Each structure stands twice: as structure tokens, then as C-alpha cells.
Structure 1
Amino acid sequence: MEYRRFGRTNLALSVFSLGLMRCLESSEAFQATVKAALDRGINHLETAPAYGSSETYLGQTLQQLGLDRAQLYLTSKLLPTPQAGDLWGQLRDSLQRLGTDYLDCLALHGINTPEHWAWVQAAGGCGDVLRQAQDQGLIRHLGFSSHGSLDLIQQVMASDRFAFANLHYSLFFQRNAPALDLAQSLDMGIFIISPADKGGQLYTPPATLMDLCQPHSPLHLNHRFLLSDRRITTLSVGAAVPAELADPLGVADATGALSPSEQAALGRLEQQRRQRLGADHCSQCYACLPCPEGIPIPDLLRLRNLAVAYDMTAFGQYRYGMVEKAGHWFPGRRGDRCTDCGDCLPRCPEQLPIPTLLRDTHQRLAGSRRRRLWD
């Protein structure tokens, strides 16, 4: 296991972190998974009150295993709120459940909209409350997570309020690359969240994707793509049972430049993308926004890109099913809401037939609607 400096926190984190959102079947399974992760060299555990019994199970596990608190790092996350005083009670409840008197890291969980950001910046708001908690020693380092726009993420980073950021970024979602550059210039730690699941459901890839990545698995290639990037400190692995640690941690010490065979696999992915999508490829420039109907055009066409190019239809259905269901975690409206107004067309540098592609996206991916885990 390699360890990297987490930006200006100066914490030396394992390049894989154990995310504890899925490990909720029982306290026994939870403890076994945490122990297996620690035995493999993971020293950073991430939880949140929103993750059901996760904090309670983690507190019990730390006590039962008799671990040296100073030898591991705990991160929890609290939702931004306009009633910032509520954070005091939420923080103290988290500490009580975890059985500790401090958190190494606390992230504001989901600064996803300008309104959330305003709550943080307001006098006496979320940001001030967390600074007070930090001054009292309840929190060592402050950070944030965001599912919001790249522009919003960069605004939050540039405020210099936070020492680290939890972001989505993967082989199949590189929109946030400029945020990684900014974080590096600001000496912020970067924690990549859900690189396997939100990164493409890579534990269960389609046959087409598996063939293109040979002799590697898509999961291996994604993890190597991320681990070879020195802007990134650590990747979340959301194991529900110890066995699910095996594949990702198999590359925990393979953090150098991509090998010739890995680069060749990336080349095949690019060639396949060009052949299958042709002139209908959306390059994710975001020039088409804003849409008068509130359709997140690039996000939906990215899912179409993946479905057409690599047969990642199941993943597209999983994500598309959250549209109009997950609020600010996946904002916007479905592709079939397009009215053919044509507002986006002059702005598209590739001259894509966007209304036609949106309808095709909806036809391919519309299915059962999804709720988030904690709903």
C-alpha cells in the first residue's frame, strides 16, 4: 500500500480509503470488512450520519478491535444547512456514535448548488460553525464534497476555506480535471469518491468493455488511470464484505505510470468510441448550457456516449433513473422534456442534432426511477 500526503492537512493517507456507505448488512460483517481493510494497509475510513448505522457500527468496531486511534484517520460528513447552529448537535452526535473526541477530517457533504454555498459563506453560517468546532479541537481538518458544477467546485476551492475536496472523477468522467489542477495549485488533498460505482458500475462491466480492456479488467484500468495521477491522494473503495477488497487493493502498490498494455487498452477504448459514435459524439464542452427546459444536456449525452460506445447501457439506466428523482444530487430534467426550441444548437461547436440525441438517450435509458440509498 502506498501512502500520499493529503494536501496541506499533511496527513499520510493510504491510496485507497474504505468508504462505509454499503457495509451495513450487520455489525459483524461491518467489523470483518473494516478489519480486513486495516490489515491490508488502509488507514483512512470514511463514514457519514447519512449512511444509516455506519457511524454506530464504526464506533463499536474501533472499540472492539482495540485500535490505536492515532494510527488511523476518520472522516465523517455533515450536510450543509441554513440553520447552521444545528451542526453543533449533529457533530457531537457523530462523535458520540464514533466513540471519539475528534475527527481527523470533516467534510460538508454536498455543496451542490449556489444556495448551499451561500449557507456556508453567510455570517454565522455553516463555515463559521465548523471553524469554531475546529478551534475547539473537535475537527482537525475541513473539506467538502460536491456533485455540483465544475464552476461551483472551483469557486469553493478558491475560497481557501477547505483543505481537501471529495470529488467524482474517473476514466469515464473527466469533467472535473480542471478542479484537480486547481486543488494541486492550492495544496488541497483530493479524495476520489465512488470511482467504481458512479464511475461506471465497473464491478459488473458489459462484455464489450471487458474485451476492450483485455488483458486488464475495466476496474483495474480505471484504478490505474487514477492512481497514476499524482494530483489525487486517495480513492474510495466501497466494499460491503471483505472479499470486495481484493480486486481494487490488488493495485494498491501499482501507482506509477501506465504500462504499455494499459495504454494500449486506453487506445482501443478511444478507437471504439470513434467508430461507434462517429459524428454523434458529445465532447462534453458544456457550451450547450443553459437549457431553457433545465435539461442537463452534457450529462445525459455522456450516458449515451457510454451506452453506444461500450454497451454500458445498464450503467446509463442506473444514472438516468435518478433524473428528476434525486434532487440536487443529480439535477435537471429528462431528455424527453426537450421542446425542440433549438436554443442549444447554435452554441454546439460540433453541430450535434441535440434534440434528436436527447430523445434517443431517453429511449435507450429510461427505466425504473431510482432513489438514493438514504432515502
Structure 2
Amino acid sequence: MQYTNFGKTGLKVSRFGLGTMRLPADEKAAIEIVRYAVDHGVNYIDTAYIYAGSEELLGKALADGYREKVTLVTKCPVIYSQSHADFEKFLDEQLRRLKVDYVDVYMLHNLSPGVWEKVKKYDGIPFLEEMRKKGKIRFKGFSIHNTFEAFKEVIASAPDWSMTQIQLNILDQYNQAGGTHGLQYAAAQGLPVVIMEPLRGGSLVEELSDEGRKLIEEFPEKRTFVEWCMRWLYSKPEASVILSGTSTLDQLKDQLRIFEHAAPNVMGEAEEKLITELRRTFEAQALIGCTDCKYCLPCPKTVLIPSAFAYYNRYMRTRDESIKKAYMSGSRKADLCVGCRQCERHCPQGLEISKLLKEVHAVLSN
């Protein structure tokens, strides 16, 4: 495992970090994944209040001396907060879930436009300093799904952020907090940057086209698609930690293999050109960029939004008519959408969900 200094915190963290949004439902299997990661050098563990069951699971997985081996990171559910007092109420609940007295890094979660306004309204940044002084958190940061201008505003709002977390992958090089430009900007301000969604929740793997596979097979250096995605990221020296949410032990073992040589500045000109070509194959498919995070759920009309998008993307890739039949056999289809747009306020990808659901149903019901 490769390690890096985590900004001004004094922490030394693994460049591969374990995200826990997508751990398996089976508790024994999930604990095995967490402990296997720690036993093999991973010392950066990321969770959040809204990751169903994740904090409670980590409270069990990090028992028996594992807590002392890791930098434990979780996030404040600003979206659920209705007052300044709510922030500490949620943090205290999280500490109980995790069975700890403090967390190493505490982030304001998902600073989308609406969430950022709540942070300002309820004094979310002073709250972080209050908690640091009380000893409930050691370092303060934020994760963000927003524009580059908003990213700069958040960074400027406090002189002593300890870190930030942004979405970056081979398709989001110009999106989400400015993409690679935002990454470089934050690093220039002295902020370590943690990368989330390196595979867009696994959707990049599922949506790799035959043309993309052929490009990889014909390239002189033989690596898997997942390895190319991670290599493109860990080659960037400004990326301190790359998070990956593994769902199986085999996935974790593969990531550990990939990150054995996670050195910066390893991408050559030919490799960058390959990534450019792979990016083109994805853009040609015109798929919906859903990461299956499920932040859009529950829908008040019970639409299974991520499922509808998955059906659409599979059909657009394959043109397999059986996918239409499978979609139409369901009872919670996209046509139930009434355009309330409640889901859109929570989508980290900024998708126009109500508009897209109409397109999904038009295509799949034809």
C-alpha cells in the first residue's frame, strides 16, 4: 500500500480509501471486507449518516483494536438538519452508532446548492469548530457536488478547512467542482483532496462498450478497465486518497492489487490518449449518468428511479428488446412520475430526473 501526507493534519493516509456506501447487506461479509482492508494496509475509512446501516456496521467492524489503526471519516447530514442544534444532535447519534468518542475527519456532506444555503443559514461552519473544541472531531472538511465557482466559494468561506472531497473520474474531468481544474485549485490552497465515485458507483464498468473493450485489448500495456480508471486518478499527485466502495471481497482484493503501485505522474502520452478514446466511446452512447446512490429515493409516487435509468442504459447499449419487456412488467415504472422534482433536489449528479423519466418511458414502452 502506498501512503501520503494528508495536508496539514499530520495524518499519513493510504492512497486507496475504503468507501462503505456499497458494502454487502450480510453483516459477516461486510465486516470481513472492512477488516481485510485494514489488515492489508488501508487506513482511510469513509462513511456517512445517510449510508444505510454503514455507521452501525463500522462500529462493529472497528472493534477489537481496529479503530486505532484507521483514520475514521464520516459526514454531517446537513440535508436533514432544520436548526443549528440539529448538527450536534446528528453527530452525537453518529458517535453512538460508530461506538467511538470522536471521529478523525467530519465533513459537511454533499454541498449542492440547496445544502450549501442550509450550511450558511444554520451556521454549519462554526458548528465544526465547536465540535473540534469539544473533542468530538479532529479535523473538518466538506464533500461537494456543485460548480467550480461554488467550490471556490466554499473553500474561501473558512481559512482552516482540513480537506475536501470531490467526484472525479474519466468522464467527469470537467464536471463536479471543476473536475481536474478544481482538484488542482484545492491542492494549490493547501487542501488534500479525496476522490469519490472513481467508477461512478460501478456504472462505468457496466457501461463499457464493445468498442471500449477493444481499445483496451489492443493497447500494448495490458490492464483491466478498472485499473485504467484508477491509474488515471492516482497518477494525479493532487489526489491524496481515491475512495472505492467495494461490495465483495474479490473486488477489494482487486483494488488492493491495483493500488500496490499507486505512484503519481505515471500516465504517459499514449496512456492519456487511450483515456481520451475511452471517454469518447462513453459519450457516444448518450447514457444517463446515474450512479445508483439512491439519494433520490423514496419517490412520493414510488417510482424506482435508479432502476428505470438502469433499464434505459442497458437497452441503449444493447438494443435488446427483452429489456423493454422486463421494464414493462414492473409496477413502479417511470410513467408514475408527476414532475414534483423532489428527487432533483437530492441528486448529486444534477440530473433533470423528471424530464429523463419521461424519455425513459417513451423509449422503453415503445
Category of TM-score, reference length = shorter chain: 0.7 to 0.9
2:225 to 188, 195, 218: 218
1:193/1:73 CA distance change after superposition, 3 Å: same
Aligned to 1:116: 115
SS of 2:62 mapped into structure 1: helix
SS of 2:200 mapped into structure 1: coil
Give the share of equivalent positions with the same residue, in percent: 23
1:100/1:208 CA distance change after superposition, 3 Å: same
1:238/1:312 CA distance change after superposition, 3 Å: farther
Q: Which amino acid aligns with 1:254?
A: A
Q: Residues of 2 paired with 1:367 and 1:12: CA distance? A: 50
1:117-266 mapped onto 2 (5 Å cutoff): 117-122=116-121, 125-159=123-157, 160-175=159-174, 176-198=179-201, 200-202=203-205, 205-214=208-217, 215-252=222-259, 253-256=261-264, 257-258=266-267, 262-263=271-272, 265-266=274-275
Q: Residues of 2 paired with 1:363 and 1:68: CA distance? A: 45
2:346 to 318, 321, 328: 328
| Cα displacement (A) at 1:40 | 2.0
Contact 1:111 1:148 survives alignment (8 Å): yes
SS of 2:32 mapped into structure 1: helix
Q: Which amino acid aligns with 1:51?
A: Y
**Normalising to structure 1: TM-score of the pair?**
0.72
Q: Residues of 2 paired with 1:61 and 1:41: CA distance? A: 15
Alignment RMSD: 3.4
Q: Residues of 2 paired with 1:267 and 1:326: CA distance? A: 30
1:45 aligned onto 2:45: yes
Superposed CA offset, 1:132-184 (max 9, x none): 01111110111111112221112111223522111101111112222112211
Aligned to 1:93: 93
- How many residue pairs match? The answer is 306
1:86/1:14 CA distance change after superposition, 3 Å: same
Superposed CA offset, 1:62-116 (max 9, x none): 12xx125332110011122341211111111111111111100011111101x43
Q: Show structure 1 runs of 4+ deviating over 4 A.
A: 270-274, 310-314, 321-324, 334-337, 361-368
Q: Residues of 2 paired with 1:60 and 1:210: CA distance? A: 40
Contact 2:23 2:247 survives alignment (8 Å): yes
1:207/1:3 CA distance change after superposition, 3 Å: same
Contact 2:77 2:90 survives alignment (8 Å): no
Structure 1 window deviating more from structure 2 (227-236 vs 215-224): it is 215-224
Contact 2:208 2:282 survives alignment (8 Å): no
Structure 1 window deviating more from structure 2 (80-89 vs 31-40): it is 80-89
Q: Residues of 1 paired with 2:145 and 2:364: CA distance? A: 23
Q: Which amino acid aligns with 2:168?
A: Y
Contact 2:344 2:353 survives alignment (8 Å): no
Q: Which amino acid aligns with 2:34?
A: V
| Cα displacement (A) at 1:268 | 4.1
SS of 1:233 mapped into structure 2: strand
Contact 2:170 2:232 survives alignment (8 Å): yes
Q: Residues of 1 paired with 2:160 and 2:281: CA distance? A: 42
SS of 1:201 mapped into structure 2: helix
